[in-house]
Structure 1
Amino acid sequence: MPNSHKNKTLSTLLAALFGWLGLHRFYLYGKKDFWAWAHLAFPPLSVFAGFIGALVIGLTPDEKWDAQHNADSGQISNSGWPVIVLVVLTFALGSTALIATIARGFDLYLTGGAFG
C-alpha cells in the first residue's frame, strides 16, 4: 500500500503561515514529532523557526523532497512557481518581522519603551 504523498507547496504554506504552531511538522511527521510539540510550547521563538522552516522546505529540490518524504508514494513532485512565490513572500515577511523585533528590542533597552 503506497504512503500518502506529501505536497511541498502545502508544506511551505503551512510553515509560512502556521509555522509558529508547528502545523507543517504535524503534516509531515505526524503527532509523534517532538519538534512539532516544541513549537506549541515556545510560540515566540517558533515564529522565526516557522519562517526558516518555510524557506528550507521551499528551497529543497523536488528530487530531494521526494526522496525524503515521498519515497513510497508512487508520485513525483513538480512544485513550480507557487513555491518560489511563497519563498519570496516568506523571506519578505520574516525579514520584516526580524527587523521589527530588533527595533522594538532596542527601543525597550535604550529608552525603556518611551516610543511605544
Structure 2
Amino acid sequence: MKNKTVATWLTFLGGPLGLHRFYLRGFGDLPGWLLPIPTALGLYGVERVQQFGQDDQWSWVLIPLLGFTIAACALTAIVYGLMAPEKWNARFNAQAAPEAPAGQTRWLTVIGVAAALLVGTAVLMASLAFSFQRYFEYQIEEARKISQ
C-alpha cells in the first residue's frame, strides 16, 4: 500500500532525485530516472558560479533548472498531500478500499504540504529573480558595448 504521507514527504525532500516516482511507480519509471538530470545540471551551474563568478553565462542558464525542479517537486508534493483519499487509493492503491488508511490525510501530511508550499515558493521566486537579474545585467552590458 502506497502511503500518502510518505509520498508527500518523499516528493518534497527527494523529488529532484526521483525518489517519489520510484516509491509510487517502481524502478521501471522512466521520468523517475530522467528527473535527476536537470537537478545535476543545476548543481553544475552552482559549481560554475563558485568557480568562475557570477558573470558566467552558463551558470545563469543552469541554476534555474535546479530551482524549477525543486519548485515542481514541491508542487507535486502539495498535489499529493491534498488529494482526496478516494482518489489516492484509486490511483495508487487500486486493490484497497476507497477509504483505506493509506490514503488518509494526517497531520504529518499537512505539515509536509505546508513545508512544500513555503520552500517551493521561495525557491521558485529566487530562481526567477536570479535568472531575470542575470539576463537584464547581460542586456545592459551588451547595450554599453554597442553604444561605445
The reply to whether residue 85 of structure 1 matches residue 103 of structure 2 is: no
The reply to whether residue 102 of structure 1 matches residue 102 of structure 2 is: no
TM-score scaled by length of structure 1: 0.83
Alpha-carbon offset, residue 6 of structure 1: 0.5
* Number of corresponding residues: 108
* Structure ranking higher in helix proportion: 2
User: Residues 25-69 of structure 1: CA distance to partner in whole angstroms, max 9, x if unpaired?
Assistant: 000000111110120222224322211211111111111111111
Amino acid at match of 2:73: G
Determine which structure has more spread, i.e. the larger CA radius of gyration.
2
Distance 2:71 2:31 in 1: 14
- 1:27 aligned residue: 23
The reply to whether residue 50 of structure 1 matches residue 76 of structure 2 is: no
TM-score scaled by length of structure 2: 0.66
Amino acid at match of 1:36: G
Identify which range, 80-89 or 38-47, moves more after superposition. 38-47
Amino acid at match of 1:6: K
- 1:63 aligned residue: 86
Alpha-carbon offset, residue 73 of structure 1: 4.6
CA RMSD between the two structures: 1.7
Distance 1:35 1:56 in 2: 18
- The alignment partner of 2:31 has SS state of helix
Alpha-carbon offset, residue 70 of structure 1: 1.2
Alpha-carbon offset, residue 107 of structure 1: 1.9
- 1:37 aligned residue: 33
Amino acid at match of 1:57: Y
Contact 1:51–1:90 (CA<8 Å) still a contact in 2? Answer: yes
Distance 1:91 1:36 in 2: 22
Percent identity between matched residues is: 35
